Amino acid sequence: MTIESKISIRHVHKAFSVKRGSKPFKAESQPVYALQDINLEVRQGEFMVIVGPSGCGKSTLLDLLAGLTKPGGGQILLDGQAISGPNLDRGIVFQQYALFPWKTALANVEFGLEAKGVGRRERRETAQRFIELVGLGGFEHRYPHELSGGMKQRIAIARSLAYDPEVLLMDEPFAALDAQTRETLQSELLRIWEATGKTIIFITHGIEEAVYLGQRVAIMTSRPGRIKRVIDIPFESRRSEEDLRSNPDFVKLRHEIWELLKDEVSRAQEQEKSKTLDAYGEGKSSAKGGARHG
């Protein structure tokens, strides 16, 4: 198991120090334990979905995988090598697209290729090919503000795929989209995944989305985040199934995950509440977590 793992997350911890107290002199550094002893093995070419209540540390985990931050303890291996920093072997897709507004769709997709040192000519051709892969041929010269949310997310996906990372990290990529667009993009993502064979780690709040997309679904506890259970989703080729969502097995799995998640969600809500109260008591709002959307 260990040997064939694409990504191994072993005993990973992460804590943030949050300054509290109303007066600067009284400020004491208080750690917020975001992740506690995370263990997860992701196989080559696997579609792994992570679900968990708001504020449980999902984005924190993804930042660690991207190499944007370092774990406080434990290690993360990619092909058996410890991750030392950001690299083009991993691509991230964010919920808020993170497209460069001063670049056209095409130039946005070219951005990672440029960072990779690909020549101008080849860059253009590759970018064009990936824009077509995500079904946006004809829109390459539009600026992000001229595209709909769904189109922007397609471009963001094309940008991450274009530089050919081995692993695609996706942080609630479809959460800001309307239901129809989301369903379309979900099945397109599956198509792209099947076509490219990438390893995907996909974070979501949506249980249905998790069951529909994932080969396995990891459920996290409320903060400090741990992996509570990993559930196998045994459907073959999801796209061929006519209406997978009403399949009784699908419904059963969805319910099982919901059962696992619901205590964690209420605990997370308790945490948020007490944190807000704390912040009131100390006359200063705490770190960002309290105000984050769900």
Q: Which positions ≥6 away from 154 have C-beta within 8 Å?
A: 134, 135, 136, 185, 188
Half-sphere exposure of 205 (CA within 13 A, CB side): 14
d(CA 172, CA 43): 21
Min dist. Cβ of residue 92 to ligand ATP (A): 13
Compute how many residues bind ligand ATP; rule: CB under 6 A.
Answer: 17
DSSP secondary structure letters along 83-96: --S--TTEEEE-TT
Position 18 contacts ligand ATP (CB under 6 A): yes
Q: Which CB sits closer to ligand ATP, 15 or 88?
A: 15
d(CA 77, CA 22): 41
Contact 54, 209 (CB under 8 A): no
Binding site for another protein (CB under 8 A): 66-68, 85-88, 90-92, 94, 96, 98, 100-104, 111-112, 114-115, 143, 145, 163
Q: Which of 32, 218, 219, 233 binds ligand ATP (CB under 6 A)?
A: 32
Helical packing angle, 120-133 and 149-162, nearest 10°: 130
Residues 39-68, one symbol each (x = binds ligand ATP by CB under 6 A, - = not), give -------------x-xxxxxxx--------
Contact 210, 204 (CB under 8 A): yes
**Which three-class secondary structure state does DSSP give residue 176?**
coil
What tokens appear for 255 in the block? 């319910």
Min dist. Cβ of residue 56 to ligand ATP (A): 4
Q: Which CB sits closer to another protein, 200 or 217?
A: 200
Contact 180, 100 (CB under 8 A): no
Length of the chain: 294
Q: Which CB sits closer to ligand ATP, 56 or 257?
A: 56
Min dist. Cβ of residue 172 to ligand ATP (A): 7
d(CA 140, CA 138): 6
Min dist. Cβ of residue 171 to Mg ion (A): 6
Min dist. Cβ of residue 42 to ligand ATP (A): 18
Q: What does 287 bind: Mg ion, ligand ATP, another protein, none (CB cut-off 5 to 8 Å by kind)?
A: ligand ATP
What tokens appear for 256 in the block? 């099982």
Position 59 contacts Mg ion (CB under 5 A): yes
Residues in 251-290 that interact with ligand ATP by CB under 6 A: 287-289
Kindly list the residues in this chain that would bind Mg ion in the complex (CB under 5 A): 59
Kindly list the residues in this chain that would bind ligand ATP in the complex (CB under 6 A): 16, 18, 32, 34, 52, 54-60, 223, 287-289, 292
